[in-house]
Amino acid sequence: MQFEKNHDGPIEHSLEIALETIEGLLHDRYTLSRRAVGLLLLQEDHEIQEMVKESQPTILDHIEKIISGVKATYAYPIEYEIALLRRDEVERIINRVVKVKEKEQGIAEKVSALMMNPIAGFPLLFLILYFGLYKFVGVFGAGTVVRYIEETLYDNHLNPLLVKMVAFIIPWRILQDLMVGEYGILTLGLRYAVALILPIVTFFFLVFSVIEDTGYLPRLAMLIDRTFKKIGLSGRAVIPMVLGFGCATMATLVTRTLPTKRERLIATMLLALAVPCSAQLGVILALLGGHPKAMVLWAGIIMMVFLFIGFLTARLLPGERPSFYIEIPPLRVPHLGNIFTKTYVRVKWYFLEILPLFLLASVLIWLGKLTRLFDFLIFLFTKPVAMIGLPKEAAKVFLFGFFRRDYGAAGLYDLNKDGLLTGDQLLVACVALTLFLPCIAQFLMNLKERGWKTGVGISLFTLLISFGIAFMVNLVLNKLGISL
């Protein structure tokens, strides 16, 4: 499109003349047309500025001079002036060739309005969480499917076979332990990744893709924005937060989509502290399944910690308040092919990124046991564990909890099976473990995304908070004489 050449100010400051001058300076080896590059330069697009700086560094000064001349004649940024002119041009064309028919409100619009209605929206959210997350991922995925794969396939067939094979190939006991011992690479690391985590995460990503493709997430973002503003985030942060219920490590990576550093930091911290991942959720729900009161209390406490710590951080952390806008696309019936592709790509990413960390965790546990370092660390944990009213066997659970957050939860499961825990202790342990340090994969992701200082800081902070809150919960339960 051409801009008009007449202009209030000096003629060389008119958009069209300035643009043509810039076009004349550019060579034509850019992937975009010279006019497009010129337009983007006028709008001070950083990427294009960098591109031209690299390709034609000598003309940059001249271009900047032209642009500052144009800028001086407008009160608003140039992208705004261009947007106005472009809109007028679009309207001129549209009015000539397009006729718009008003459509009746269809069923999709009605459901959409219901989803965004604060009164109907939250019960609807609850239903989606209950059936999508709890029933499908939790009960069916983490329960039925995992039990089948882990117990039937792995424990009965695959593991005995692996143990025999390794024993045959490697004669040394220590190395046998590393491969197929109690915490061995093959028997623990690989089994965990393939038999336990993989199905849970696959089911979660399946549900997540369905929810994503219907267009529900922006509606959820719109519902939650006001609440999230109080904890220093905007509605947009629901996407990493919901993803965090699947895999907090992947969710930490997705915090990249948040616009400011401050939001990314707050989201990373809350993901580390108070968002249990699907693997952890599965085990915790199983543990507390027999104690409905404890389960409600657990959910309430975690939610309060999430909001309270978020609120405090938002108060203490300097920086601009986040601003929120999101497009609300029409509701759609998801396309099956898209869902499978998305789930496949995510599961693949997960597997390639996380599997090495599982194996590494196995090696570290093996090393820790071999060097007796673990015994020492467990000894260190005994005191705090006793302070929150748990038996000393639980110390081991917390240490392993760091290597696999869900593994810690699984350890708790074993303790409970042995009848070592009361209902109160179960609640305290679940609270502590949910809030406890992120697993090693998330820890490494925190270091990678937020820098090592912040990453370590977040970990120490979660350690402190988890024991602090657990201590208080235990104290309150004791003082009030409640036994669950």
Partner 1 sequence: MERKDRIEELLESLWIITVEGQKDKSDFALLRDDEAIKDLIKMGYVFVKENQLGLTEAGKIEAQKCIRRHRLAERLMTDVFVEKSKLIHETSCKFEHLLHKDLEKSICTLLGHPKTCPHGKPIPPGSCCRGASKEYLKKIIMPLAELEIKKKGKVAYLQTGNRDILQRMIAMGVLPKTEILLLQKFPSYVIQVGKSQFAIDKEMASQIYVRQV
Place of tokens 């104690």: 291
Distance CA 443, CA 402 (A): 9
CB of 41 to partner 1, least distance (A): 16
- Cβ neighbour number for residue 33 with a 10 Å cutoff: 12
CB of 86 to partner 1, least distance (A): 9
CB of 46 to partner 1, least distance (A): 12
- Look at residue 181 and give its three-state secondary structure: coil
| Interface with partner 1 (CB under 8 A) | 75-77, 79-80, 83-84, 87, 113, 116-118, 218-219, 221-227, 229, 234-235, 259, 321, 323-328
N residues, the chain: 484
Nearer to partner 1, 114 or 153 (CB): 114
CB of 268 to partner 1, least distance (A): 22
Distance CA 83, CA 297 (A): 53
Q: Give the 3-state secondary structure of 329-391.
A: CCCCCCCHHHHHHHHHHHHHHHHHHHHHHHHHHHHHHHHHHHCCHHHHHHHHHHHHHHHCCCC
Nearer to partner 1, 76 or 148 (CB): 76
Spatial CA neighbour of 4 closest among 113, 92, 105: 92
CB of 448 to partner 1, least distance (A): 27
Nearer to partner 1, 32 or 84 (CB): 84
CB of 112 to partner 1, least distance (A): 8
Spatial CA neighbour of 15 closest among 87, 64, 71: 71
- Cβ neighbour number for residue 92 with a 10 Å cutoff: 10
CA angle 461, 462, 467 (to 5 degrees): 105
Nearer to partner 1, 115 or 473 (CB): 115
Alpha-carbon dihedral angle through residues 207, 209, 214, 220, given to the nearest 10 degrees: 80
Nearer to partner 1, 120 or 386 (CB): 120
- Look at residue 119 and give its three-state secondary structure: helix
Question: What sign does the CA torsion over 186, 191, 197, 203 have?
Answer: positive
Q: At what angle do helices 261-274 and 292-316 cross, to 10 degrees?
A: 160
Nearer to partner 1, 29 or 256 (CB): 256
CB of 192 to partner 1, least distance (A): 40
Nearer to partner 1, 89 or 414 (CB): 89
Nearer to partner 1, 93 or 328 (CB): 328
Nearer to partner 1, 64 or 88 (CB): 88
Buried b (16+ CB within 10 A) or exposed e, 430-450: bbbbbbbbbbbbbbbbbbebb
Spatial CA neighbour of 269 closest among 427, 464, 411, 137: 464
CB of 258 to partner 1, least distance (A): 14
CB of 281 to partner 1, least distance (A): 26
Going from the C-alpha of 475 to that of each of 363, 382, 471, 472, 479, the distances in angstroms are 38, 18, 6, 5, 6
Nearer to partner 1, 77 or 123 (CB): 77
Going from the C-alpha of 260 to that of each of 133, 270, 328, the distances in angstroms are 29, 16, 22
Nearer to partner 1, 64 or 182 (CB): 64
CB of 61 to partner 1, least distance (A): 23
CB of 303 to partner 1, least distance (A): 18
